Chain A
Amino acid sequence: MEALLAIAIGLLTACGVFLMLRPRTFSLVLGLTLLSYAVNLFLFAGGRLKMDAPPLIRDGANYTDPLPQALVLTAIVIGFGMTAYLVMLALRALAESGDDNVDAKEKS
């Protein structure tokens, strides 16, 4: 399972970085989204992978570290808001220049 997760994170990061380097804002947004997925999985794995274990600490119980789950939740919420704002900004840039290239000049 560790190998699977590592490959998934690596693949998501690679695709994310590739898309981020594209000149269009649409692929840029997609790339950032993929990158944030990779980061969230990575954060989650920071608490070690454990099957069938709830994040609740009780005496003698089998539990997993609850902190990374809380961190991931925070990161997801923040990332979601940021992406939403980025999409709005990209749409505004598209409306102002008529082109969704990141280096587009003003419509003349």
Chain B
Amino acid sequence: MTQHAAILPILIPFAAALLQLAAKGYGITTQRSIGLVAVLLGVCAATWLVWLADTGGVLVYALGNWAAPFGIVLAVDRLAAMMVLLTALLSAAALLYASAGFDQRGRHFHPLFQLQIVGLQGAFLTGDLFNLFVFFEVMLLASYVLLAHGGGMARTRAGLAYVVLNLAGSALFLIALGMLYGTLGTLNLADVALRLQTLDDNHALARLACILLIAVFALKAALLPLSFWLPHAYAAAGAPVAALFVIMTKVGIVSIMRVQAIAFAPASATADLLDGWLLPLALATVLLAALGALAAPRLRDLTAWLVLASAGTLLITPVFPQAQVSAAALYYLLQSTFVAAALFLVAALVAERRGELSDLFQSGPRLHAPWLGFAFLLAAASAVGLPPFAGFLGKLMLLSALRDSGQATAIWFVLLFAGLLLMLALGKNGGRLFWERSPHHPHAIAVPAGWRRAIAVTLLVSPALLLALFARPVADYTARAAAQLHQPQAYISAVLGENRATVQREVRP
């Protein structure tokens, strides 16, 4: 059983999606139950995977028992296991929220939600670049439909731009894969790493392929010139969908971290691939996001800009080869994902109570829901990095890990300045949303949040405190994950095994 643990996070939601399609005639309650059971099982499987990855080495699962580099493998290191658990927890909370009525605003919400989880988990687990493309497409196809879920002009419009952009991104991804296969003759990540190290000629083409790959990941991660789709798409999506989407930028970021640490950095041909351009662009992304947050008219727009700010912050780190930078980045990634997802849900609950005012930053009625304001306060404080919350610890770890680098001044200035701007935006607008009364709108609409949505918000807000309370074990784990990520030799020999020396290479013309 243990050997099949790696595939469980993909199989469980896939089976659930099929069951839900078959059970369509039995009503929404059946679909909900199947979905909730599946996400709970997913959390259990992911926890088990984290435990397995943390106690053993890299867990390799050869699909169909075809050994790498010929077959497709799933490779579970501590980073992959952590991301799988994060996705499982996030999807559980988002599904719980959606089960309170959002899922009935359109058709096929539940199977699509499960398929989106399949794509996300697969993208984190796979050790093969073409397989990564396939899981990206599964994830994107589900996300296209989920984005349009609920209908409305804004969603169709945002969906159209989002779909077109990602289709162009997929074309780029395929070009990169074609070039990589053409020059290196393999698409298995460990094998790519190995062959990049022994590359003699064809440098230029291989480098071009690698940089195209990074460009595609940067599009998913919303690095600056490719980031303008994010605020529109995320703000247009329904709250639980937007909450799940928060992890999608992280797929791009983790992919960049992974290919850089395992394949590109150790090879002399591609070691300087990210130098000089990624850091300035990431810092510019953070600044743009902070300015966008200041100008945002609604809480959900502001949250979308916050997602962009955290993506920019995380994109600073892949350039640095030090493991403690990656460790800090992973801790920051955990808290920023939960907090942004929580803010999307809070925004929707606030909008519901304020009627036509929605979550626009205008003075409105008294909300009569102190827990909502409290949830907002917690999430916002953690998002901008105020002590004693997890956001503060994450930023502190990141800043202190980057202290010795040459660009420390610029990074410190930008991150702290952007933090100040975000604090201004959240403080001013949050105060207006929750405290300012308008005589034209004396009464809030009394809608009970329901236990599902209350639990979902609690689940997503509590990590702001819990990650700070249990900072030591979590930070230790991310440190171990980062140390493992920066030892590509162990990953390569785990994936390729004894095939490594015996595989005969065809001479390519």
Asked if chains A and B come from one complex, the reply is yes
Question: Contacts A25-B160, A93-B157, A96-B156 given: A35-B168 contact, CB under 8 Å?
Answer: yes
A53 within 8 A of B: no
A74 in contact with B508 (CB, 8 Å) = no
Query: Which of B134, B161, B179, B508 is within 8 Å of A102, CB to CB?
Result: B161
Instruction: Output the least CB separation between B47 and chain A (Å).
Output: 32
Chain B residue at smallest Cβ distance from A48: B509
A35 in contact with B171 (CB, 8 Å) = yes
Instruction: Output the least CB separation between B171 and chain A (Å).
Output: 5
15 other A-B residue contacts (CB within 8 Å) besides A46-B179, A71-B178, A96-B153: A25-B160, A32-B168, A32-B171, A39-B178, A42-B174, A42-B178, A43-B181, A46-B178, A48-B182, A48-B508, A74-B130, A79-B170, A85-B141, A89-B163, A102-B164
For chain A residues 81-104, which have a beta carbon within 8 Å of chain B?
81-83, 85-86, 89-90, 92-93, 96-97, 102, 104
A75 within 8 A of B: yes
Per-residue B-contact encoding for A64-82, CB less than 8 Å = 1, 0 else: 0001100100110011011
Contact residues on A (Cβ < 8 Å of other chain), bracket: 35 or more
Chain B residue at smallest Cβ distance from A93: B156
Query: When chains A and B are docked, how far (Å) is the Cα of A40 from the Cα of B170?
Result: 12
Per-residue A-contact encoding for B135-160, CB less than 8 Å = 1, 0 else: 00100010011001000010011011
B177 within 8 A of A: yes
B181 in contact with A67 (CB, 8 Å) = yes
- Does more than half of chain B's interface fall in helix, strand or loop, or is it mixed? helix
A89 in contact with B156 (CB, 8 Å) = yes
Instruction: Output the least CB separation between B139 and chain A (Å).
Output: 12
Q: Which residues of B contact A46 (CB under 8 A)?
A: 178-179, 181-182
Query: Which of A36, A82, A102, A106 is within 8 Å of B141, CB to CB?
Result: A82
A86 in contact with B164 (CB, 8 Å) = yes
- Does more than half of chain A's interface fall in helix, strand or loop, or is it mixed? helix
B178 in contact with A43 (CB, 8 Å) = yes
Q: Which 10 A-B pairs have the closest CB atoms?
A: A46-B182, A46-B178, A43-B178, A106-B153, A39-B174, A46-B181, A93-B156, A78-B137, A39-B171, A42-B178
Instruction: Output the least CB separation between A19 and chain B (Å).
Output: 12
Q: Which residues of B contact A35 (CB under 8 A)?
A: 168, 171
Query: When chains A and B are docked, how far (Å) is the Cα of A79 from the Cα of B161?
Result: 17
B163 in contact with A85 (CB, 8 Å) = yes
B160 in contact with A36 (CB, 8 Å) = no
Q: Which residues of B contact A74 (CB under 8 A)?
A: 130, 134
Question: Contacts A39-B178, A46-B181 given: A71-B160 contact, CB under 8 Å?
Answer: no
The listed residue with most A CB atoms (<10 A of its CB), out of B137, B157, B174, B179, is B174
Question: Contacts A82-B141, A93-B160, A102-B161 given: A68-B168 contact, CB under 8 Å?
Answer: no
Chain A residue at smallest Cβ distance from B164: A28
Q: Which residues of B contact A96 (CB under 8 A)?
A: 153, 156
Query: When chains A and B are docked, how far (Å) is the Cα of A62 from the Cα of B174?
Result: 27
B420 within 8 A of A: no
Instruction: Output the least CB separation between A11 and chain B (Å).
Output: 16
